[in-house]
Structure 1
Amino acid sequence: MSTYGFAAMLAPRSVAIVGAGERDGSVGRAVMDSLRAGGFAGAIRPVNRKYEKIDGEPCFANLAALPETPDLVLIATPPETVPAIVDAAGACGAAAAVVLSAHLGRGEAEPIGAARRAARRHGLRLIGPDSIGLAVPGKNLNATLLAHPPRAGDLALVTQSGTVASAIAAWAHRREVGFSAILTTGRSADVDAADTLDHFAADIHTRAILLSLHRVDDARKFLSAARAAARVKPVVVLRTGRHEAQAEEPQTHTGALARPDAVYAAAFRRAGLLAVDTLDEMFSAAETLRRQRPFPGRRLMIVANGRGIGALAADRLADQGGTAAEASPETLEAIASVRHGTSTNPIDLGVDAEAQEYATALGPLLACRGNDALLCVHVPTARAGARQTAEAVAGAVAEARRGGDRKKPVFAVSVGEDAEAAAVYAKAGIPLFATDSDAVDGFLHVVRYREAQENLMRTPASLPQEFKPDLETAKRLVRQALAAGQSWLDPLAVKALLGAYAIPMQPCLLAPDGDAAAEAAWPMIARGEPVALKLVSPDIVHKSDVGGVRLGLTSEADVREAAARMIARVRKLRPEARITGFAVQAMVPRGNRRELIVGLAEDPTFGPVVVFGTGGTAVEVIDDRALGLPPLDLRLAADQILRTRVSRRLEAYRDVPAADLDAIALVLVKLAQLAADLPEIRELDINPLLADADGVLGLDGRIRVAPEPPRLRAQSEMTRSKPPLSPLPCGEEAGGGGGAGSSAAVPSEPPPNPSPQGGGETPLRPTDSRGQRPTWHPRFAIRPYPVEWEREMSLKGRAIRVRPVRPEDEGLFAAFFAEIDPEDVRLRFFSPIRHFNHAFLARLTQLDYARAIAFVALDADENSERMLGAVRLHADANHESGEFAILVRSDIKGVGLGYALMRMMLDWAKAEGILRVEGSVLAENRAMLAVCKRVGFRSILDHSDINTLKMQIDI
């Protein structure tokens, strides 16, 4: 349901409190007092059969007895009574209910399950249980258990934990920080974090979202909503319980490295969220985002009245990976009269500095192009109080801005609480912090948020087109292992499977015993190559733990002796373990090669995870790793590599050339593809993976397999089938295009289940440039590029290729708009547009395929791709309706491309269960109106604009 019912829930005309009472300290009494104290203008209806009146106001026996239908029902009754009350709330027509009660259990057989089912029967939105309520200060709604009524502002606070919400609200009360809304979801029987992100992303009263959560239940839904929200406004996320133990003990190094906290961090990063670890960091982020918008650059200049306090700020900046600015000689000369010592950052004004000396220093520093932001740290002294210094700083900033300088951000620290100084900084719009650490963290929050936005807008490189995995071989190896009852592939199968994905591995030979191992090693030894001997056992994953690896063996006798010692040691340490033989490999000269680890792990929430880090036997102790969620492209893989400490060793140093980063990144992308193709693979690691300037080579690999769960298998097969494409009549014309209009209104009734696809479609065989099957799988938290929607078609003898838009298509769109008729552009965008910048084109080409699609038509007869047109559809948050837009080149009118694209877009909407498609078209765009009419759209007059028609079709 997503945002269905949110309008009434957050702006109720009347509120009913089931469980209201007169006893002080009771939940029902407390929330009723909060509503009254907040000045709620609507009706407040207590419901409790034990009372006739409460505080002189009538009390009703049940919800059916109320004089009007409540929009919002607050429930504060024993757990076992909650499902019946939820059912009654839905039956009387309420829009939402908040369950303040706790201890409703977890499973469907518990009260929480019965309450959820009752809510769904009636289309009632349910918050909680274990919620402490919701508040919308701008509407005087405070239906919470908070100690202080929240102020109105532009921060939305969403938490699963009531205590975290209370702590943030208490901090906000002290700092006079306001909220557009506060919503505590508790155990999220219905409304969850994803729903709230979808709502507040579109809320014009919300400038930033503060999110605190303990866990995510639906990873795909959450990430889709989070990525959409992060594109339009800052989202700060704090996860509680980050270091809880893993539910299942991992069996590989990559599994151990992919701890839940690291996976969540990778997911937040992928979604563009600003993750913080503590409440203090969240407070810093909230203070910064309240006063400071994102800005270009990351170089910070620190000014302080003392070397020590300034150095603390500089140390914090360095520790957190920030960048210290450098002052130009001209700037240093301009501030020489107030600068003490030789430090150029921080700038020391001296402990005896007066307030005016801050203003003297700030003028040249604000004008200097060598820094991107300033931090003014002040410790009050007898010569300069907090208020006087605040006035001097605010005055210097205002003067610089009046002089035409760009609005360079300024952050302030005033050690010790001073209300007058805080008021001065607040009026000037300068974020104020109590400590230098908080201020540096606040600065870095804005920097990292902006960088996250840039990452979301960055155009990735394409995969090499020649990469084509041998999928049949890989699947055969997995099937054979499962049929034999194996959980782990043997070394030869591991090498063959990775070879099917062109991941190079050092050859190895298998031998059943020590004598056979010595015989297999002899040709290598004869060539002067020392050999490595490794134990092979399906019961021993970490061979080094039992002495199962011997290196540098140079004779047959050494091999026999090593094999005998291994067997003896295993019989002592792991007598139950089965020994199937030994693997023999020629030793690889290390030279300049760096030891890495790469692999796959399975997270219970987010599914497959790609792991990269420092390799070797002590990988878990070193704990230098970065995680990524598939699907990956080369840019995402490169970013993952750069987040590790070992990435610095991959660069050139002394006489050692740089390692081939592209080759390493390509391995990560191939592993992500492997995870999509082979859902039976549960864990995989290659350790070590050696990397140097010539490429990569794996020395040892392990792969654990398990049957695909039946439910996931059925879903996976459904997604792999070809979506339909309706038959196309010839001769349809389309020129110009319709631009998407405003979002459709939320329906007054819950949507019915989408009907199954009807007949009449002509399914076409999937077209995949790399010969692969569709890559989406239910385990993936992020839907990959939908290769199953690629098409080859012939329209009036013209060969045309249609495929979903990819992020790397930005250049294709830029060339298309450069040669398109300006009149067609005006018809599509409703106004002339002369320049399409990177941010605009990125929004057209970087899609969340879970809620939007765009198809691009290409001329299949040309060697180079030439864009002929495109259609796009963006679903609303409820996934009930979608808005379309289409643009086709004028010089190919008459071949039916516009009609073909529209039908393909509608087929996608049907496959996704979208119920209605609509869009706005200029009344003068007769060609587009004709296409819409033939497709089956109906036209509705847009009363807000007589020059526009709204086109609508039910799927």
Structure 2
Amino acid sequence: MSIRHLERMFRPRSIAVFGASDRPGSVGRAVFSNLLECDFPGSIYPVNLHHREVAGRTVFRKAKDLPEVPDLGVICTPPITVPGIIENLGAVGTRAAVVITAGFDEASEVSGRDLESEMLEHAGRHGLRFLGPNCVGLMVPGSGLNASFAPGRPVPGRVAFVTQSGALATTVLDWAAEREIGFSSFVSLGNCLDVDIGDVIDYLGSDARTRSILLYMEALKDGRKFMSASRAASRNKPLVVVKSGRVPEGARAAASHTGALAGRDEVYAAAIRRAGALRVYGIEDLFRAAEFLARVRPHEGNRLAILTNGGGPGILATDELVLGGGQLAELDEATLDKLDKVLPHNWSRGNPVDIIGDAPAGRYIEALKILVASEEVDAVLVVHAPTALADSRTVAEELAPVAAAAPKPVFGCWLGGASAREAYEAFAAADLPGFLSPADAVAAFLALQEYRANQVALMETPSEMPTSAVMDPDSVTVIIERAHDEGRRWLSEVEAKCVLSSYGIPVVKTRQAGSPEEAATLATEIGFPVALKVISPDISHKSDVGGVVLDLESEHAVREAAEGIARRVAMHGNARLDGFSVQQMVRRAHSAELIVGASTDPVFGPVMLFGSGGTAVEVVGDTVVGLPPLNMSLARQMVDRTRVAKLLAGFRHRPAARIDLVCDVLVRAARLMTDLESVESIDINPLLADDDGVVALDARIELRPAEGGPRRRPAIAPYPTHLAESLPFGDGEITIRPIRPEDEPAHRDFFNSLEAEDVRFRFFGVIREPEHSQLARFTQIDYEREMAFIAVDDARRTLGVARIAKDSSGHRAEFAVVVRSDIKGRGLGRILLQKLIDHCRETGVREVVGQVLQRNTRMLGLAEDLGFRLGPIDEDGIREVVLDLAEGREDGG
């Protein structure tokens, strides 16, 4: 992840246009004209070998001829020339470029050179970042920057639009201009050869001019980079995504239920959800959602009241709400009585609140005040159809101040033609969302609920796991190595269950037999009844060949069943028979059959799957996917998104299943996938769940082929277990480990243990008890970008914390350390800071810096002891301390 030099790309002080031209119809002319017409305040230099003057300006031949080093180079020349221009720009000190040129594949084939590789090589050598190639360009309207060949002149705004489609870029610009929508930035990514989606989202996430980010995405190359940037950005501002390519193409892996069910679009949807972003399905939806999210006030709850002057529009809105899975607020008698006092006797006396067609603005206002004050209402949709007695504009103008001051979200739906547009604009002037149809209004409200749920999930504090079974990846090494040595892609069922057991997943007792006679003997040892299953590396689904026989009650029955399986396998082409698995027969009359699985996505790496299991799992189609690592909250969210969740909750005579243990299995299976890079997929199907617990009846584990190279890493950096260590401290022992989301309650107690002076030293001011959102940011960190080590004692108290946040290059990190006030002076701060320094050194950080108050003499002394250089005292009484980790490295970096 790096936004290095992107500031020069988005906020250049000078620009050189390579290929600038006066030739009609040329890209160089369009780009240069756009820059001139948008009144860019800095210097603009045309560069061209074949012109002396363009648009009345002197033309320069090469980068080295320019009177100054341009911050940004815009390249519109033929593909064969671009690598050389990148090299020349880098050599003179330019650090950002936009490559609009297309056609590199064809030009590389003709020239016999890999032109794109040459571009990357030259840019990398000089630290130059470039957008494109094959892009429309970059626009920052508020700065007068239009380095593109798009028509029109976009106006400044607070919305950033990022697109992978050049054709869509020009379409959206035209569409937005008609609707007077402005942009903080407009970015056409092109082929993402260097600067990609992750880089741009990362930059815009901290851009003060951008209130929300809209993204049109076709495909990703680096799932982790996207997730890291998106999760960080969406904590600060709305991120709304349109992902095209929803229909899967090509064959899916049929060898695994999970591989067949976890389709590419479902994985993208899970990633967007996990990032705390909102997915929509059209360009108008994209802007509508952004406007709504930016204007509507934060709230909790999803119960909507509909306030209307017409029964028909109210019913239409209700239909859209209920069919979309929304909730209509149920008004209690107290609220109805209050409305009775201000509304005509023939009002609807229910929700939708139909206040009759002759309703003036005053009637809307009185009803709205009552609704927003009602505990059973979370948001209000105002629907107005124009009448001769109350025109839409007047209603909107008089209602807007009341709606803007309301403690809950209020949004409008204005029906009709020109009058509806005027009412919409009146609401917009008060920074209130408005719509021109009930369907659009309700769709935006439902999108808001989804976005809010994603945001809550992003920062929800997970509970501890319900079981304490140890997860032991080392114990399965022998099993996996043996399978690799034998050239096997699939573990046997017995091996797979051993692996699951090593991760604390309950499995039914299973033994492997090499012959019908041995199967009968093992069945006697296990105890009847038993189930018998075929073991064959060539048979994906046992039941397809009659390879599963249940409820065997005797040795004779087992022997006969095994012989029958052997005959059926012999008829199944060249399938090998490696033996039989004999397992204890589990009879749990009220259990649900579930599937827990994992597969490897080419972009996002390991992907988890959960849903209704059994042999008809694909037919039933009740599955969801999620990205590991999982915790109990994330696992529960996966369960709750399935239909089988209602069955697990219990009904009539059927008691509720142990959903917590189902979630426990999901968390453990996710940990297995992130721990064991040689595992390609997992199928646990069925996993039985009832009020007694869970047990895996069948399991399949596929290994990654040795020749397949390393598996795609998880899209979200997993918990770094290997960094935990135990140390003696005082009269006992403490554990130093990375912080986890589950540490939030202990972190709150830790904060409350700090004296006021220690809080000032850490935060440079007085902070009351932090909100959940603040604590979530402290405990739910992205291990790719930052690190926080905590010291924990035997009572599971947090004694101290040391954290770093890396800059965009990953080479510089800022640290902070704080220790419980009642144990200061015992050396824990030194232990934590040294742990942090060692981690920085191991992960390539070159410089560790900190901001320390001059009055904090204890920290200044510790920093000096550990080799930090102390800077001067600034006007706020703060000293910067710096530790150079690059010194002494042979490679200098």
TM-score normalized by the length of structure 1: 0.86
1-structure distance, mates of 2:417, 2:488: 65
Residue 381 and residue 105 in structure 1: after superposition, are their counterparts in 2 closer, same or farther (change >3 A)?
farther
Distance 1:304 1:492, change over 3 A: same
Q: Secondary structure at the match of 1:784?
A: coil
String of CA shifts for 1:206-232, please: whole Å, max 9, x gaps: 121112222222222222222211222
What amino acid maps onto 1:346 in structure 2?
A: P
Residue type at the aligned position of 1:244: P
Q: Contact conserved, 2:629 with 2:718, CA < 8 A, in 1?
A: yes
Q: How far off is 1:812 after superposition?
A: 2.1
Distance 1:347 1:545, change over 3 A: farther
Seen in structure 2, the aligned counterparts of structure 1 residues 796 and 598 have a Cα distance that, compared at 3 Å, is: closer
Residues 152-190 of structure 1, C-alpha deviation per residue, up to 9 Å, x if partnerless? 121122222223333433333233222211112221111
* SS in structure 2 of the partner of residue 691 of structure 1: strand
Distance (whole Å) between structure 1 residues aligned to residue 56 and residue 140 of structure 2: 27
1:374-389 matches, cutoff 5 A: 374-389=380-395
Q: Does 1:366 find its partner at 2:372?
A: yes
Find the aligned partners of 1:225 and 1:782 in 2 and give their Cα distance: 11
1:234 maps to what in 2? 238
How many angstroms apart in 2 are the aligned matches of 1:340 and 1:183? 54
Q: Does residue 324 in structure 1 map to residue 254 in structure 2? A: no
CA shift in 2, pair 1:701/1:893, >3 Å: closer
Shift of 1:710: 9.0
- Residues in 2 aligned to 1:796 and 1:289: alpha-carbon distance in whole angstroms: 52
* Residues 607-630 of structure 1, C-alpha deviations (whole Å, 9 max, x = no match): 111211111222223222122222
**Which residues in structure 2 correspond to 1:344-743 (within 5 Å)?**
344-350=350-356, 353=359, 356-397=362-403, 401=405, 406=407, 408-416=409-417, 418-463=420-465, 466-508=468-510, 510=512, 529=529, 532-551=531-550, 574-585=572-583, 587-707=585-705, 712=710
Is 1:815 the counterpart of 2:729? The answer is: no
Secondary structure of the 2:470 match is: coil
CA RMSD of aligned residues (A): 2.9
Aligned mates of 1:556, 1:952 — CA distance in 2: 75
Q: Distance in 1 between matches of 2:595 and 2:730?
A: 54
Q: Does 1:887 align with 2:791?
A: no
CA distance in 1, matches of 2:563, 2:727: 65
Deviation at 1:872, TM superposition (A): 1.3
Partners of 1:413 and 1:439 within 8 A in 2 = no
User: 2:796 corresponds to which residue?
Assistant: 865
How far is 1:335 from its partner?
3.2
In structure 1, the residue corresponding to 2:331 is in which secondary structure?
Answer: coil
Structure-2 separation of matches of 1:411 and 1:364: 17
1:376 Cα deviation after fit: 1.6
* Structure-to-structure mapping, 1:68-217, within 5 angstroms: 68-105=68-105, 110-217=114-221
Question: Offset at 1:355?
Answer: 5.1
Q: Cα distance, 1:549 vs. partner?
A: 3.8
Q: Return closer, same or farther for 1:582/1:930 CA change in 2, 3 Å cut-off.
A: closer
CA contact (8 A) 2:513 2:522 kept: yes
After TM superposition, give the deviation of residue 908 of structure 1 in Å: 1.3
SS of the residue corresponding to residue 443 of structure 1 reads helix
CA shift at 1:568, angstroms? 6.2
1:383 is displaced (CA, Å) by 4.8
Give the direction of change, closer, same or farther, for the CA distance of 1:276–1:709 in structure 2 (3 Å limit): farther
Contact kept? 2:611, 2:644, Cα under 8 Å: yes
Structure 2 distance, partners of 1:922, 1:515, is 79
Contact 1:168 1:283 in 2 (8 A): no
Q: 1:694 to 1:420 in 2, by over 3 A?
A: same
Q: Which moved more, 1:825-834 or 1:475-484?
A: 825-834
Structure 1 residue 559: Cα displacement: 6.7
> Is the contact between residue 792 and residue 798 of structure 2 (CA under 8 Å) also seen in structure 1?
yes
Shift of 1:472: 4.2
* In 2: Cα distance, 1:173 partner to 1:22 partner: 26
The match for 2:777 among 819, 827, 843 is 843
Cα distance in structure 2, aligned partners of 1:515 and 1:341? 81
From 818, 827, 835, the counterpart of 1:904 = 835
Q: Distance in 1 between matches of 2:776 and 2:713?
A: 27
Alpha-carbon deviation of 1:23?
A: 3.3
Whether 1:310 and 2:314 are equivalent positions in the alignment is yes
Q: When the two structures are aligned, how many residues end up with a matched partner? A: 878
- Report the residue type matching 2:173 in the other structure: A
* 8 Å Cα contact 2:807-2:813 kept in structure 1: yes
Q: Secondary structure at the match of 1:206?
A: coil
Q: What is the Cα deviation at residue 691 of structure 1?
A: 0.6
Alpha-carbon distance in 2 for matches of 1:619, 1:246: 21
Determine if contact 2:238/2:294 at 8 Å carries over to the other structure.
Answer: no
Residues 109 and 856 of structure 1, relative CA distance in 2, 3 Å threshold: farther
Partner deviation per Cα, 1:4-29 (whole Å, 9 max, x = no partner) = 11222112222222222233332222
**How far apart in 2 are the matches of 1:522 and 1:918?**
68
Q: Distance in 2 between matches of 1:289 and 1:388?
A: 25
Shift of 1:661: 0.6
Counterpart pick for 2:264 among 260, 267, 280: 260
Matches of 1:275 and 1:911, distance apart in 2: 38
Change (3 A) 1:59 1:482: same
- Matching residue's letter, 2:624: A
2:877 to 944, 947, 954: 947
Q: Please give the alpha-carbon distance, in whole angstroms, between the structure 2 residues aligned to 1:343 and 1:259.
A: 47
1:60, CA displacement in angstroms?
Answer: 2.8
Residues 5 and 129 of structure 2 are in contact (CA less than 8 Å); yes or no, is this contact kept in structure 1? Answer: yes
Matched, 1:300 2:304: yes
Residue segments in structure 1 that go unaligned for 5+ positions in a row = 714-777
Q: 8 Å contact 1:295–1:447 — kept in the other structure?
A: no
Letter in 2 for 1:878: S
Q: 1:266 to 1:82 in 2, by over 3 A?
A: same
- Counterpart of 2:6 in structure 1 is 6
2:47 corresponds to 1:47: yes
Task: Name the CA shift for 1:109/1:432 in 2 (closer, same or farther; >3 Å).
Answer: farther
Q: Please say which of residues 73-82 and 600-609 is displaced more in the overlay.
A: 73-82
**Following the alignment from structure 2 to structure 1, what is the Cα–Cα distance between the partners of residues 870 and 521?**
81
* 3-state DSSP of counterpart to 2:104: coil
Q: Deviations over 1:266-315 (max 9, x none)?
A: 22222212222322321221221332243232221122333333233223
Residue 157 and residue 473 in structure 1: after superposition, are their counterparts in 2 closer, same or farther (change >3 A)?
A: same
Query: What SS does the aligned partner of 1:335 have?
Result: helix
Cα offsets for 1:63-122 (capped at 9, x unmatched)? 333333222111122223222222222223222111112232499973222211111111
Counterpart residue type for residue 635 of structure 1: S
| Conserved? CA contact 2:277–2:455, under 8 Å | no
For 1:521 and 1:695, locate their aligned partners in 2 and report how far apart those are by CA, in whole Å.
24
Match of 2:12, SS?
coil
1:27 aligns with 2:27: yes
SS for the counterpart of 1:212 is strand
Structure-1 separation of matches of 2:643 and 2:829: 51
1:765 counterpart residue number: none
Aligned pair partner of 1:828 in 759, 762, 766: 762
Instruction: Extract unaligned runs of 5+ from structure 2.
Output: 886-893
For 1:354 and 1:565, how far apart are their aligned partners in 2?
Answer: 82
Aligned-partner Cα distance in 2 for 1:25–1:548: 69
Secondary structure class of the residue paired with 2:483: helix
Equivalent-residue separation in structure 1 for 2:236 and 2:400 (angstroms): 30
Note if contact 1:595-1:688 (Cα within 8 Å) is conserved in structure 2: yes
2:281 equivalent to 1:277: yes
